């Protein structure tokens, strides 16, 4: 993280996103608010929709953990270079799920809660308003693909959490292409989760957003990518962009 990114607030980041959406005439709407109790400030939560009438649907989630900043900056990069968006795909983008955590530059939100936990209990709690806003805005949606852009700040190697009943070649393609630019974490276990020894932690049913939507049948393809936080931000953003392009290509070629 350089000095410039350290100084950027969630308000500045969101303001840039809103301006870029206006330039390209993309829908960018407030779906809820998180109230930072200590400073009595409300943080708006946004959703971007691109190509709303397209039949193929792709959900992109960023900024679930406040100190994992490459995801939100990837969204800005995409909006600056909108050719990445294929006309045949509808994109539902959540650019910053955890704005208070982003401002605090920490993993959890201002209520000290981990937002990557979607269940009945968290949806009823005032400490997880961000999750409730996300869930309310997607509860009637079924996505052909969902990616949540995370980072492992302790790592120099890339890996991903995936959900599948049968082996999906898309996930293996993401690993093989990413391996051309960065090392992959290849062990039997990734933390406490079973791995294929090739960088994919499979079916970690931990009630994460990706796990929940997959098990509810709301996301056919569902994964969390973990860019290595010890690499330069620019490189982490590039990894995210390449993975999104890979998913785009797969959806166009395989979803009818």
- Asked whether residue 2 carries a pLDDT value surpassing 60, the answer given is no
155 alpha carbon, distance to own chain's centre:
18
- The rounded percent of the chain whose pLDDT value lies above 90 is 91
Domain count across the chain: 1
- Report the sign of the C-alpha dihedral through residues 224, 228, 233, 234, in that order: negative
The domain that holds 217 is classified in CATH as 3.40.630.10
pTM: 0.96
Give the chain as a 3 state SS string. Answer: CCHHHHHCCHHHHHHHHHHHHHHHCCEEEEEEEEEECCCCEEEEEEEEEECCCCCEEEEEEECCCCCCCHHHHHHHHHHHCHHHCCCCEEEEEECCCCHHHHHHCCCCCCCCCCCCCCCHHHHHCHHHHHHHHHHHHHCCCCEEEEEEEEEECCCCCEEEEEECCCCCHHHHHHHHHHCCCCCECCCCEECCEEECCCCEEECCCCCCHHHHHHHCCCEEEEEEEEEECCCCHHHHHHHHHHHHHHHHHHHHHHCC
Show the domain range for 122. Answer: 3-254
Order of strands across the sheet that contains 27-36: 27-36, 41-50, 89-94, 56-62, 143-152, 219-228, 159-163, 200-202
pLDDT score for 204: 84
For the segment 37-68, what is each residue's pLDDT rounded down to a tens digit?
A: 888 899 999 999 999 999 999 999 999 999 99
Q: What is the mean pLDDT of the chain?
A: 95
pLDDT score for 7: 75
For the segment 110-136, what is each residue's pLDDT rounded down to a tens digit?
A: 999 999 999 999 999 999 999 999 999
Name every residue whose Cβ is closer than 8 Å to that of residue 111 and which is 6 or more positions away in sequence.
37, 127, 128
Nearest to 143 by CA among 200, 205, 82, 213: 213
pLDDT score for 4: 54
Over its C-alpha atoms, the chain yields an Rg (Å, rounded) of: 17
The answer to whether 144 and 214 are in contact (CB under 8 A) is no
Name every residue whose Cβ is closer than 8 Å to that of residue 164 and which is 6 or more positions away in sequence.
171, 202, 203
């Amino acid at each position: 993280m350089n000095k410039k990114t350290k100084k950027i607030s969630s308000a500045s980041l969101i303001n840039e996103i809103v301006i870029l959406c206006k330039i390209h005439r993309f829908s960018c709407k407030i779906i809820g608010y998180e109230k930072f109790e200590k400073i009595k400030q409300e943080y708006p939560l946004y959703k971007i929709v691109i190509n709303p009438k397209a039949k193929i649907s792709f959900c992109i989630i960023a900024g679930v953990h406040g100190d994992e900043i490459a995801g939100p900056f990837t969204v800005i990069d995409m909006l600056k270079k909108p050719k990445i968006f294929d006309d045949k795909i509808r994109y539902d983008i959540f650019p910053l799920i955890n704005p208070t955590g982003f401002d605090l530059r920490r993993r959890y939100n201002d209520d000290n809660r981990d937002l990557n936990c979607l269940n009945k209990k968290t949806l009823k709690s005032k400490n997880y308003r961000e999750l409730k806003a996300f869930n309310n805005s997607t509860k009637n949606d079924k996505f052909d693909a969902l990616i949540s852009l995370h980072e492992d700040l302790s790592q120099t190697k890339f890996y991903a959490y995936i959900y599948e009943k049968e082996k999906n070649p898309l996930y293996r393609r993401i690993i093989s292409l990413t391996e051309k630019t960065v090392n992959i974490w290849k062990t039997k276990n990734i933390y406490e989760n079973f791995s294929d020894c090739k960088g994919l932690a499979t079916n970690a049913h931990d009630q994460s957003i990706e796990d929940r939507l997959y098990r509810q049948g709301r996301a056919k393809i569902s994964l969390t990518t973990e860019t290595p936080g010890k690499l330069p931000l620019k490189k982490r953003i590039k990894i995210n962009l390449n993975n999104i392009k890979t998913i785009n290509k797969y959806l166009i070629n395989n979803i009818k």
